[in-house]
């Protein structure tokens, strides 16, 4: 009895693993259903045609620029501002 119960539980786990597996590899599709990189949408014919896209997206990697060198000798201290003179309140009439 215990052996059949163990076998059925393992069978269910194996079945669940097979169902949730990705299966065969599928190509990435565009909004119109064309394979990205190998097909382009032809609006005059209304279907995908073999070929490469005219425009491609740039990589999302940022361009690394060298850091600017700042030395203490070149940087001058900020000039201090003189305090503003306070004005006398207007005389009451």
Asked whether residue 84 is domain-assigned, the answer is no
Asked whether residue 33 is domain-assigned, the answer is yes
Asked whether residue 71 is domain-assigned, the answer is no
Dihedral over alpha carbons 22, 28, 32, 38 (to 10 degrees): -140
Asked whether residue 37 is domain-assigned, the answer is yes
d(CA 53, CA 34): 11
Asked whether residue 52 is domain-assigned, the answer is yes
Domain of 35 in residue numbering reads as 27-56
Domain count of the chain?
1
d(CA 9, CA 44): 56
d(CA 54, CA 34): 14
Residues 6+ apart with CB under 8 A from 28: 35, 36, 37
Mean pLDDT, rounded, for 50-74: 68
pLDDT of residue 9: 93
Mean pLDDT, rounded, for 48-72: 70
Asked whether residue 48 is domain-assigned, the answer is yes
**pLDDT tens digits, residue range 4-58?**
999 999 999 888 877 776 656 677 888 888 888 888 888 898 999 998 877 766 6
Whole-prediction pTM value? 0.33
Asked whether residue 46 is domain-assigned, the answer is yes
Asked whether residue 41 is domain-assigned, the answer is yes
């Amino acid at each position: 009895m215990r052996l059949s119960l163990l076998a059925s539980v393992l069978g269910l786990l194996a079945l669940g693993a097979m169902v949730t597996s990705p299966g065969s590899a599928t190509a990435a599709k565009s909004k119109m259903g064309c394979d990205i990189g190998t097909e382009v949408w032809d609006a005059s014919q209304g279907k995908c045609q073999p070929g490469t896209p005219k425009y491609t997206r740039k990589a999302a990697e940022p361009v690394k620029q060298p850091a600017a060198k700042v030395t203490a000798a070149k940087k001058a201290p900020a000039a201090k501002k003189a305090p503003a003179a306070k004005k006398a309140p207007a005389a009451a009439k």
